[in-house]
Chains A and B, each alone.
Chain A
């Protein structure tokens, strides 16, 4: 029978990095706590008999969080043969708190002190032998990031898995030990001796799950309760606090003997950086500057050059030239049109943005891996809390920059039902990777590829979340205090090439795969709708305005006239975005290649779009384009994300509310941007009805933003 080894440790101590190294797997590694919330299994590369289980990061074995429950249940119920306890050497005292509990489980433990490279760099000293002697279990120095000490820790784990668990050295105070002895005698004496200690301590702490699991009779419970109360009275504290305090006293004794800090009391480099990047004054401006820089680099410099090449050379010259040379002479016009003006134009216009996306993904991965994004959640929590929101809502948004679906699902970390619903509704306001081509397309066509437009899309997303949060929090359905947000800030470190590459590849490949599947199918369907219609009876049309899709678009495009883009082309493109947001760009790609009337060149496509926006809006192309961009960013997400909203809300009513709110909010914001923009440019006489509607919308929004919150708890108390 094989050996089963569990990896357990604090969040962000390097368990998943070690797991990937040992098993050769590619699990997601993130430099923020809570990346792993479910256990994952794998076989050790050079020893297929050994199964390794990566447990979620936990601070204790108390059942306070989902992660702690998952890890604890596994360790108790599945009984692995050995535990590798990963300890972050840069946070020894805090990590040893979990260690003291793991040792009590009655399972052989090997302690792997990780991040020893940083410990050594800081000039700190951990006496491994002394620590091993104190804890009575083997201790090994490792660096999961650099791969040092890895083989040694595995060999040690395999060796101890074959033996018995080490004896427990830690004794609590006399009062506690007295109560524990009574508990062992009264409740757990039938258990194997090595298990008794952990269960006794948990019963002493009043752990409800353990008490329920053991089905302790009420009379026995009442009897041991007397012993516990006696200890509480003598030590003048509650049982749980007594255990916590005594564990820390024990840990302090250990660290006094085997840990020497070179710069005791001095701030670490991470602390010094945090004093600036998370400060009340500089935190937000630094975040804004970094995000602007990221979007600027991706959209305007490196990314733009590469995207221009893909659009102008690859999809603008090489592929069309090949098709023209080899297929056009031999194929019927309709089939050549389907391939060249349909598939190549549609899919090509989406794939054209891959270089910009990859640059963006690389930069976001660097920010995540170095530890900055954790700080952003902290900075945002301070701002969000001011408006009655929780920083917990920012984590789904962070995940949502890749794809809205996992972003929406990540809202499950929020325990407060009202906050969770609100996060589900607002998460997709942050531009996901599928919306980036729309940003790049509009910025390229109407704003000369300005990085400012791209960065503004991100900040408008954040602003939309804050504004929505303030308005919704003042309604009965969403009122209440924000969920508490506790997050450990990991130490900064240089991003690793592997992690950045993995993160970029995952996101980039997902985008390309979608373009080659869903977008490809959509372009084919759209090509038929665009090329068939009624012109002297049903058949292929010469004028695209007679196509089936034009008829459908014309039926509802009038709704968007006040937004500056009330034309069937823009309306249809926005609606096709419901299938997948990339479809907006793909649809434009096909619309402007209709009948091969346009050379397949990015610049010409953008000029055609710019001209059209100019004519729709009576000379306000930039305003109408920005209004269009905002509508597509803020309105209902794609069907996949709507499905995720449906699953998370578990209610058709709430799903429809979310879609209705998102579309309504997007419409009003776009309306105000366009109408007030026209007003400021002096052209308001031709839009007087739209302008009145925008003023009413602004007044309504201001009312909801600034009205008194009658559901505020303090307000109710003073009433």
Chain B
């Protein structure tokens, strides 16, 4: 086992970093969705047009 880790530690570290980045991105996207942050990069309440949208809906 140790031999395997020693031989492949760069691959393991790279994979761990890659999985961590992917997980972080997915978590961030879910959190943004829950916070109401749209693809334009901000929440509806920060949008200059938000009053129009929410008053009508």
Point out residues on A near B: beta carbons under 8 Å: 27-28, 30, 35-38, 56, 66-67, 69-70, 327, 330-332, 335, 338-339, 399, 402-403, 405-406, 409-410, 412-413, 506-507, 509-510, 513-514, 516-518, 520-521, 524, 580, 638, 640-641, 644, 647
- Contacts A35-B48, A335-B14, A339-B14 hold; do A412 and B38 have CB atoms under 8 A apart? no
Given A37-B51, A409-B47, A521-B22, A330 contacting B41 (CB threshold 8 A): no
Most A Cβ at <10 Å: residue of B14, B15, B25, B41: B41
Give 7 pairs: A residue, B residue, CB < 8 Å, sorted on A.
Answer: A27-B46, A56-B51, A335-B14, A405-B39, A406-B38, A409-B47, A514-B39
Closest Cβ of chain A to B45, distance in Å, is 7
Report how far A259 CA is from B14 CA in the complex, Å.
72
Contact of B48 with A37 in the complex, beta carbons under 8 Å? yes
Any A CB within 8 A of the CB of B26: yes
Within 8 A of A (CB), among B1-57: 10-11, 14-15, 18, 21-22, 25-26, 28-29, 38-42, 44-57
Pair A67/B51 contact, Cβ less than 8 Å: yes
Q: Are A332 and B29 in contact (CB under 8 A)?
A: no
Residues of chain A contacted by B38 (CB below 8 angstroms):
403, 405-406, 640, 644
Give the Cβ gap from B33 to chain A, nearest Cβ, in Å.
Answer: 10
Name the B residues within 8 Å of A67 (CB-CB): 51
Q: Decide yes or no: A335 and B49 within 8 Å by CB, A403-B39, A640-B38 being known contacts.
A: no
Partner of A70, one of B42, B46, B51, B56: B51
User: Measured between alpha carbons, how far is A518 from B44 in the docked complex, in Å?
Assistant: 20
A-B contact count (CB 8 A): 99
Q: Are B46 and A327 in contact (CB under 8 A)?
A: no
Given contacts A38-B54, A406-B38, A517-B28, contact A28 B11 (CB under 8 A): no
In the complex, residue of chain B having the shortest beta-carbon distance to the beta carbon of A37:
B51
A36 touches B41 (CB 8 A): no
**Candidates B14, B18, B28, B56; contact of A412 at CB < 8 Å:** B56
Residue of B nearest to A512 (CB): B41
- Is B14 in contact with A409, judged by CB distance below 8 angstroms? no
Residue of B nearest to A524 (CB): B22
Q: Do B11 and A332 touch (CB < 8 A)?
A: yes
- Asked if residues A66 and B55 are in contact (CB atoms below 8 Å), the reply is yes
Closest chain A residue to B7, Cβ basis: A330
Chain B residues within an 8 Å CB radius of A641: 39
Q: Is B49 a contact partner of A521 (Cβ separation < 8 A)?
A: no
CB distance from A222 to the nearest CB of B (A): 33
For the complex formed, measure the closest distance between the CB of B17 and the CB atoms of chain A, giving whole angstroms. Answer: 10
Are the CB atoms of A403 and B41 closer together than 8 Å?
Answer: yes
Contact A402 B40 (CB under 8 A): yes
A419 to chain B, nearest CB (A): 15
CB distance from B31 to the nearest CB of A (A): 11
Structural contact, B11 and A513, CB atoms closer than 8 A: no
Complex-state Cα separation, A401 to B52, whole angstroms:
19
* Complex contact A409–B55 (CB within 8 A): no
The docked-state distance in angstroms from the alpha carbon of A69 to that of B10 is 63
A327 with B40: CB separation less than 8 A: no
Contacts of B53 in A (CB 8 A): 409, 412
Query: Is B25's CB under 8 angstroms from A520's CB?
Result: yes
Chain B residues, Cβ within 8 Å of A66: 51-52, 55
Of all chain B residues, which has the CB nearest A414?
A: B52
